[in-house]
Amino acid sequence: MKQPRAWQRMLSGRRLDLLDPTPMDIEIDDIAHGLAFVARWNGQTIGDYAYSVAEHSLLVEQIFARLYPQANPAQRLAALLHDAPEYVIGDMISPVKAAVGPGYDQLDKRLAAAIHLRFGLPAVPDEKLKKHIKRADRISAYLEAVQIAGFAQDEAAKIFGRPKAELLQGLSIRLRPPTEVRADYTARHAALLKEIG
């Protein structure tokens, strides 16, 4: 019996094998484009534009830098890339991920490892860094929940925790055309790579 196709052709021309991805087939332009067009919250957000995974990733990196000002550029790059596999596998809300089971998580981990290696990061971030990025991710989720996803503050706090008010100062959710978000994501990635040297 013929194996089902497990690769996707990317706009860069790369052919990415989803089951066995290699760093050679990863391009930042593909990641930025895909993430800029993937909606968080299954698209159930207010506004004229979907809140994209790329916009979320930019915010998570910003929050991560506030939480951990001593973080080096490679750690900040890991924060920016924390959801990068979603450029090809999409974003699933946590209840759906739980229902799908371990298959999604394994696919996510293989893609993340290839992405990290492509940009000079360890294939798997250490546990401390993962926890720090997850903390920034949950703060971003809280902001998104109360600002654009229709959650009351108490409801969002039960699910994501209530961040300190001073940490949120000046932060707000931005809803923009995907092309603008894509450009900002690519530019931020380039800036961090330049800092890493």
pLDDT of residue 26: 97
* 157 class by beta-carbon count within 10 Å (0-12 exposed, 13-18 middle, 19+ buried): middle
Whole-number Å distance between alpha carbons of 26 and 12: 9
Q: Could you state, in order of their start, the residue ranges of all structural domains in the chain? A: 20-170
Taking the chain (197 residues) in consecutive chunks of 10 residues, what is each chunk's mean pLDDT?
81 92 96 97 94 98 97 98 95 78 85 98 97 98 97 97 93 95 98 95
pLDDT of residue 5: 75
Q: What topology is assigned to 20-170 in CATH?
A: Hypothetical protein af1432 (1.10.3210)
Residue 81 · residue 119 · CB < 8 Å: yes
DSSP state of 171: -
- The token pair at 45 is 């957000």
**77: CB partners within 8 A, 6+ apart:** 119, 121, 189, 192, 193, 196
pTM score, two decimals? 0.94
Residue 9 · residue 25 · CB < 8 Å: no
pLDDT of residue 103: 79
Q: Pick from 161, 127, 164: which is nearest to 141 by CA?
A: 161
**148: CB partners within 8 A, 6+ apart:** 41, 45, 46, 47, 51, 173, 175
**Taken in order 126, 26, 73, 145, is the CA torsion positive or negative?**
negative
